[in-house]
Chain A
Amino acid sequence: MNLIEVKGLCKNFENFHLQNVDMTLEEGFIMGFIGRNGAGKTTTLKSMLNLMNTDGGTINLCGLSMPKDEIAIKNKVGYVFGGVDFYPEAKIKKITDMTKIFYENWDDARYNDLCDRFEIDQNKKFKQLSAGMKVKYSLAVAMSHNSSLLILDEPTSGLDPAARDDLVCLFQEFIEDGKHSILFSTHITSDLEKCADYITYIKKGKILASNDKESFKASYIMVNGKKDQLTPELEEKVIGLHKHQLGFEGLLPAADKAVADSCGLECSTPSLEDIMVHVERR
């Protein structure tokens, strides 16, 4: 079953247009949603949750249609918006007590387990939590109402590497039963290297690619060469060409591997960060 089915999603602002965003995610997987700041990640996620009005397209989450089945969807989807402080002056216990009455399937035992695991002090005010603890608390709430799908908007931004690694482990545990999925927007690609099964890449409001991670990475090759190996024909083909004192580096579509081989270039599999850096430099 597809937990996410987005087709032709459009949203127009004065200076920005989200154009025909398509995205599909089956249950049991983590999808990384990457792109630069301002590429349209948050707009897409907010549109999916009916926080923004759309100018076209259809959104189905957990087999239900948004906005028609808004309440049912919100019961089945958990979300975390990184960097937003809800009720900073309120105690954690109070926020949770208010929140849980809205959910049909709130699981107190699960919530308490997660809070114990994250060492969240229920008597602290929200503002007294560190950035990492705020995200962990938001995740504890998002995962305590038997949600099938988590939508996370830059949850790891601003966290230290150890805290990010903790979260990545938690994400993997969440999906391991094969019935849950996570859509995870970030520009920290190293987190996605560890846990994502699929990658959707958005640039200037358009989806450049949406594929499983290995295929996505395999669709490019990283090339390095010396100055004299850079022919005009090659210069046109290389994505995000970076010339330096010793030569050049860049990306080539995997289909052009023969060109790289014929020029005698050094080829390697790019990381997600390599792809992002060179595609954005294009």
Chain B
Amino acid sequence: MWILCSLVMQIIPNYPVYIGPFYITLCIMMTFALNQTSHDTLYTVLLPVRKIDTVKARYLYCLIMEVIVLCISITWGIIRICVQFPDNSSGINLNVAYLGLQLILFAVFNFVFLGNVYKDPLKPGIRYAVGAVLYFVLYAVAELPVWMYKGRLSDLKEIGLDFNAALAEIQSAPWYSLPRIGAWLFPADAASLVRQLPVLAVGLLIFAVSWPLTFRRGARQFAKYDM
């Protein structure tokens, strides 16, 4: 249901693409919240498994959900490019840079929420609130260059420059200027997607490194937890 929600949200034209995956973080929290009535953690620990395997299984479930969401994003991204979907007016396009940034958002959320929830798996609420706030802060940070780029582009068009001239003007700014970074992150044409590959590579690296760190932290906390 949540994945379907996420799936549908990413094909809505002019809708922030980071919001759909946010529902998956909510879904991850709900699996812990439902534990209070189902006693899932206690039941699992009582099965012939090691205590640490309970954490591993739950994290694997979360990882699979996040990967499914990313696969859906890739599918929609390809479709959007193929049918020449108009640019997203509500933030970044569903492109390669977005995937990299979404991976970073997931990595940070995982470390903050999943990395701490096993201090007391029966009380996920506060830890989720911290993770969710951080998700939106990072979402704002990731979108800031895109919005700066769009604003600058609009300003330059208002003074009579056409799109190519305005873009050239933005790209002539220093590499660290936010509109220039936005100009790198925003487009979804084939040439731009290739140029965005480093963002995806960094995202993949952070995501890949975050899981072992998150697991180590969660497993250590759960080992200390008295059921």
Contact = CB atoms under 8 A, between A and B. Distances in A.
Name the interface size band of chain B. 10 to 19
A53 B47 CA distance: 17
A74 interface: yes
Interface of B: 37-40, 42-43, 45-51, 223-224, 226-227
A118 interface: no
B38 A87 contact: yes
Interface string A96-140: 000100111000000000000000000000000000000000000
A268 interface: no
A52 B42 contact: no
A74 B47 contact: yes
B39 A86 contact: yes
A84 B226 CA distance: 16
Interface in A39-76: 46, 49-53, 67, 70-72, 74-75
A18 to B, nearest CB: 12
6 contacts: A46-B227, A51-B42, A51-B226, A53-B226, A72-B48, A87-B40
A71 B48 CA distance: 5
A71 B49 contact: yes
A38 to B, nearest CB: 16
A102 B39 contact: no
A14 to B, nearest CB: 12
Contacts, number: 51
A165 to B, nearest CB: 27
Interface of A: 46, 49-53, 67, 70-72, 74-75, 79, 81, 84-90, 99, 102-104
Contacts of B224: 53
A198 to B, nearest CB: 24
A52 B46 CA distance: 12
Nearest to A52: B226
B227 A74 contact: no
Contacts of A84: 39, 42
A75 B48 contact: yes
A89 B48 CA distance: 23
A22 B109 CA distance: 45
A70 B50 contact: yes
Given A51-B226, A52-B226, A53-B226, A102 B40 contact: no
Contacts of B43: 86-87
A90 B37 CA distance: 12
Contacts of A50: 51
B80 to A, nearest CB: 39
Given A86-B40, A87-B40, 5 more contacts: A51-B226, A53-B223, A71-B49, A89-B38, A102-B48
Contacts of A89: 38
